[in-house]
Amino acid sequence: MAVSNNMDRPDHPVRILNPTTLECITIPYSSPSYPTSYVTYHFGFNPLADEYKILQVQRLEKDYRGMSSWVYQIFTLGKSSWRQIEEDFDLNHLVPFDSHECHFRKGGLYANGVMYWLTRDMIVVFEFVREKFRVMPLPQGSRLYSRPKLFEMGGCLAIIRLQEKGLELSILKDYQDQVWVNESTTFTVRPPKGVEYHIPLGTIHTGEEILLRPQMTRVVRKEMVHFYNRKR
């Protein structure tokens, strides 16, 4: 499913679209605080209660001290109103990460009941079951200089690092104990002239990785989509 909203206009309605059935529902207005810098919405599932939820992240404008504050609310499909979570945790220093370092506007990645965001030094996690934030250390070699990207792979979180001739994968096989498994992939086809890197887009039901290869020429920009079979 997908969530639609204008991120810079929190007063606009929030809609959820099921692309399979084409059913679209409108979520009740959340009455956000003002003035607002931006607001984002993140869709997830609570497998224990069989509930779909929406996390709203709202960044307020800077106050007279030049400080920004954040409001986090949760909405459960089938309910009639939003609930505020972790109230004032930025002011009380209860949240274990710097909200300004978390790229909420990039959408994050959802896998198996958990939403993930990548920062410079850690992974920020929101668990839809407990409605709580937590942080996880990055696996070794996943700092920003290696251009990591969050990926969903077989229901697990994966971090992909681009290399000159392939990809380095770190797959979170055990979420509770934070057990990572490392894999390497090597491209067997020589990249055409003008191609400098691959952009991982996601995986499909066969387990194949979808990669985008931009190619720049003097006249035109081409984008080729490749399927990579990890097993073969």
pLDDT tens track, the chain, 232 positions: 445 444 555 566 788 888 889 899 888 877 666 677 788 899 999 989 999 999 998 888 776 666 777 888 999 998 888 888 864 444 444 566 777 778 888 778 999 999 999 888 889 999 999 998 989 988 876 554 456 788 888 888 988 877 767 778 889 999 999 999 988 877 666 555 555 566 777 778 887 878 777 766 666 677 778 787 777 7
Q: Can you give the pTM of this predicted structure?
A: 0.79
Region of 154 (left: φ > 0; alpha: ψ -120 to 50; beta: rest) is left
Burial of 149 (0-12, 13-18, 19+ CB in 10 A): middle
**Sign of dihedral through CA atoms 2, 221, 150, 184?**
positive
pLDDT at 81: 86
> How many Cβ atoms from other residues are within 10 Å of residue 147's Cβ?
13
Least Cα distance to 180 among 201, 196, 207, 158 occurs for 158
Cα distance between residue 169 and residue 200, in whole Å = 11
Q: Are residues 66 and 81 in contact, defined by beta-carbon separation less than 8 angstroms?
A: no
The tokens for 21 are 């059935």
What confidence tens digit (pLDDT) does each residue in 136-183 have? 988 876 554 456 788 888 888 988 877 767 778 889 999 999 999 988
